[in-house]
Amino acid sequence: MQKDQWKNDPELLKAFEDGYAEAGWPGANKMVGDLYVKRSETSFVASGRIASFYAQAGDIDKAIFWLEKSYKEHSPNLPYAFGSRTYEQLKDNPRFKELARKMNLSVK
Distance CA 60, CA 53 (A): 10
pTM above 0.75, yes or no: yes
CA dihedral of residues 67, 92, 54, 88 (deg, nearest 10): -100
Distance CA 22, CA 30 (A): 11
User: Does the pLDDT value for residue 6 go beyond 90?
Assistant: no
Look over the chain and give the mean of its residue pLDDT values, rounded to a whole number: 92
pLDDT of residue 8: 84
pLDDT of residue 106: 82
Write the pLDDT tens digit of every residue in 61-102.
Answer: 999 999 999 999 999 999 998 889 999 999 999 999 999 999
pLDDT of residue 108: 64
User: Does the pLDDT value for residue 4 go beyond 80?
Assistant: no
